[in-house]
Amino acid sequence: MNAPEPYRVLFVCLGNICRSPAAEIIFKKMVAEQGLEHLVESDSAGMIGYHRGCPPDSRMLTALKKYGYEDPGLKSRPVRKEDLEQFDLIVGMDRENLRDLKRLDKKGQWTGKIVPMCFFTTRFPDEEVPDPYYGGQEGFEHVVKLLQDGCGNLLERLKEQLSL
């Protein structure tokens, strides 16, 4: 008997150097802490390829480190059309990301799996994950806390949905 295919989550922001890699790092640590790596996988990507091959922003890595997350050596990549088919859930950080993801889905067949990150947050009033790129360090730390909340709730929902 073959093992079931892992449930695959893709986190998406604009450039894949701040919010989406942070979500991937946070989510992967939570999945690993619960011993679910063989059942739940994640990745991150950006709507634009400008930062292709670049590591996460150093300010984001500093904020993540403050909250106990290590730099796993991620590299930015753009979203590919095949990601829409290959991932079970695609989590956009803001309205613009969600709109652009839905535009990639020309036939509308994957729209149901494209959701906003803040759909999973419960401790913050934010309706989108703000882009901290042009702000100060406190903006990066706010994003980390927001993503911790959202990723934790996302994982709990997946565990219920997948009966884990």
Catalytic residues: 13, 19, 131
69, 98, 124, 137, 141 from 29: Cα distances, Å: 8, 25, 21, 22, 17
Closest CA to 52 of 44, 60, 61: 44
Query: CA 46 from chain center: how many Å?
Result: 10
Note the maximum CA span of the chain.
Answer: 52
